[in-house]
Amino acid sequence: MMPPLSSSITKSLLSARPELKFHVSLVNREMPKGLKSHSDLVNEVSHLEIPKYVGALKGKDFLNTQDFSQEEITQVLDAADDLKEKFKSRVETPYAPGRTLFMLFYNRSLRTRNSFEAGIYQLGGHAQFLSPTDVYTPTLPEDMEPYKTESISDVARVLSRYGDAIAIRIYGDAAKWVIRRGHRVMEEFARWADIPVLNMEDDLYHPFQALADIMSAREAEPKLQGKKFVVSYAYSGGLKPLAVPQNDVLISTQFGMDVVLAHPKGFDLEDSVIEAAKENVKRYGGSFEIADDMRGAFDGADFVYPKAWSPKQFVPPISKTVNKEGASEYQAKFKDWIATPELLDITNKAFYMHCGPADRGQEVTDEVLDKYERSLYFEMAENRLHVQKAVMAMTMG
Ligand code: CP
C-alpha cells in the first residue's frame, strides 16, 4: 500500500480538481479512473496547476475594454492563448468551478450566446439563459409597467444572490434606438449587482468582440504596432449599432496601431470615442485619422474591417423621434461601400475582418467571405470563446 497523499498535495489537488474529492478520500484503496499510482495523481495536480490569471480581475465588471490598461488587456489575451491551447489539446480548465453565469439577451445572437455558454461549461460552471420576456422585463425606472417589468436594481440584486456574474446584450429596438440607452442599462446593472456584469454588446461597445478581434490580429501579425488597421463603413440593408466600430477603434489605438476610420458623411462615431482614440494615440503611440473614402483608406492597409453601422441623425438624441425609414433610405445611397476582391487587391495583402454575421452581397461579396485566403472571419468567431473564458476565469475564478 502506498502512503497517503500529503496534506499540501491533497490541498492543491482538490483546489484544481474539486470533483475528485471522493477519489482523494479513497485514495489508498481506489485510484481515480485512468490513474494507476500516487505519482500519476501528483502529475495530474502539476498539470492542472491553477494559472496566475485565474481571479486576477476578481469581481470586476467588463463593460468596455477602455476601462482596462493595455497591460491588463494583454493579460486577458495571454490567458486566452493559454485557454485556446488547452482547449485544442483537450486539457481540462476547471477555473470557474460551480460558478453560474446569467445571460440576459434582449437581442438575438449566434456567436455570443453559444461561446459564452460553451465557455462557462468548459470552465466547470453553468450558464443560465434569460429571455427578457420570460422574466419580468428588467427595466430602467422611467419605463416601469406594473407586473410586466421589474426594476434593474431589484433584478441585479436578486441574481447576485444566486450566481456569480450577469452578462447582458441590449441595443437597437430593445434600447428604443436612443443612443447611450443600452449602455445605461448596462451601467445600471453594474451599479446594483454585487457580482461582475459582462457586456455582451450594447449600443456603444462590444468589448468581447474587440478582444477576439485584437487576439485574431495578434495571431496573424504578432507585432501590431506600426500596422495599418482600417475600420470602414460597409453597406447593409439592416440597422446595426455603433458598438463594433467604436470598440475596434478603441482597442486598435490602445495597441499602438496606425488606425484609419473610413465612412461616408453622416456615419460619425460618438465624440467621446474619437476623443478616447486620440488619447490612446498619445499614450500608446501609433496614429488615428478619419477618412471619407473606402478605396483611399484600403490603400496599403494591413487589416481591413469593413462593416455596417447606422447613421446617428435619424435617432434620438439627435433626431426627436426614431426614423428607421429615413435611416434605411440614407444608407441605401452607399451600396458601393462593399468589400470586394478588387478592393482587397489595393491593400498590403490585408487580413479581412468582420465580427459576423456579415451581410453577403451588401457588406461583403461571397467571394471574399468564402475564398479570400487572408480572411479572419472564422478565427474571430472562434476566438470569442477563448477571450470570454479568459475574462470569466479572471473575474469569476
Ligand atoms: N459578433 C457577434 O456578436 O455575433 P452574434 O450577434 O451572433 O452574437
* pLDDT at residue 20 in the model: 77
Domains 65-205+383-396 and 210-376 share a fold: yes
Cβ < 6 A, ligand 1 pocket: 109-112, 201, 209, 355-357
- Residue 27 CA, chain-centre distance (Å), reads 42
| Helix 377-396 / helix 111-122 crossing angle, nearest 10 deg | 50
* Distance between CA atoms of residues 169 and 292, nearest Å: 31
pTM: predicted TM-score of the whole model, two decimal places: 0.90
- The phi, psi pair for 150, rounded to 5°, reads -140, 140
Second CATH level (architecture) for the domain 210-376: 3-Layer(aba) Sandwich (3.40)
Cell numbers placing 362: 451588401
Radius of gyration of the chain (CA): 23
- How far does the centroid of ligand 1 lie from the alpha carbon of residue 307, in Å? 13
* Ligand 1 atom at shortest distance from the alpha carbon of 380: 1
* pLDDT at residue 30 in the model: 56
* Ligand 1 mutation pick, 104, 107, 109, 171, max ligand atoms within 8 A of CB: 109
337: Cβ contacts below 8 Å, ≥ 6 apart: 232, 233, 234, 235, 264, 294, 306
- How far does the centroid of ligand 1 lie from the alpha carbon of residue 346, in Å? 29
* Distance between CA atoms of residues 269 and 193, nearest Å: 30
Closest Cα to residue 152, out of 129, 136, 165? Answer: 136
CA nearest ligand 1 atom 3, residue: 112
Q: How many helical (H) and strand (E) elements, i.e. helices and strands, does the chain have?
A: 15, 11
- How far does the centroid of ligand 1 lie from the alpha carbon of residue 109, in Å? 5
* Ligand 1 atom at shortest distance from the alpha carbon of 381: 1
* Ligand 1 atom at shortest distance from the alpha carbon of 201: 3
* pLDDT at residue 21 in the model: 73
Contact predicate 48/16, CB 8 Å: yes
- How far does the centroid of ligand 1 lie from the alpha carbon of residue 239, in Å? 14
First to last CA, the chain: 36
* Distance between CA atoms of residues 186 and 180, nearest Å: 10
Secondary element (H or E) of residue 169: strand 165-169
Per-residue pLDDT of the chain (397 residues; tens, 9 = 90+): 456 677 777 888 888 887 777 667 656 555 666 766 666 666 666 566 899 999 999 999 999 999 999 999 999 999 999 999 999 999 999 999 999 999 999 999 999 999 999 999 999 999 999 999 999 999 999 999 999 999 999 999 999 999 999 999 999 999 999 999 999 999 999 999 999 999 999 999 999 999 999 999 999 999 999 999 999 999 999 999 999 999 999 999 999 999 999 999 999 999 999 999 999 999 999 999 999 999 999 999 999 999 999 999 999 999 999 999 999 999 999 999 999 999 999 999 999 999 999 999 999 999 999 999 999 999 999 999 999 999 999 999 9
* Ligand 1 atom at shortest distance from the alpha carbon of 208: 3
- How far does the centroid of ligand 1 lie from the alpha carbon of residue 204, in Å? 15
Closest Cα to residue 242, out of 329, 333, 149, 178? Answer: 178
CA nearest ligand 1 atom 4, residue: 111
- How far does the centroid of ligand 1 lie from the alpha carbon of residue 365, in Å? 19
* Distance between CA atoms of residues 94 and 167, nearest Å: 20
CA nearest ligand 1 atom 6, residue: 109
- How far does the centroid of ligand 1 lie from the alpha carbon of residue 327, in Å? 22
Cell numbers placing 235: 453597406
In the chain, where the domains are located:
7-46, 65-205+383-396, 210-376
* Ligand 1 atom at shortest distance from the alpha carbon of 356: 1
* SS3 state of residue 200: coil
Cell numbers placing 106: 434582449
* Ligand 1 mutation pick, 112, 209, 363, 383, max ligand atoms within 8 A of CB: 112
* Ligand 1 mutation pick, 116, 305, 384, max ligand atoms within 8 A of CB: 384
* Ligand 1 atom at shortest distance from the alpha carbon of 112: 8
- How far does the centroid of ligand 1 lie from the alpha carbon of residue 104, in Å? 14
Angle in degrees, CA 167, 171, 175, rounded to 5: 110
Tabulate helix, strand, coil % of the chain (nearest 5): 45, 15, 40
- Domain 65-205+383-396 class in CATH: alpha beta
- How far does the centroid of ligand 1 lie from the alpha carbon of residue 331, in Å? 22
* pLDDT at residue 13 in the model: 81
- How far does the centroid of ligand 1 lie from the alpha carbon of residue 30, in Å? 47
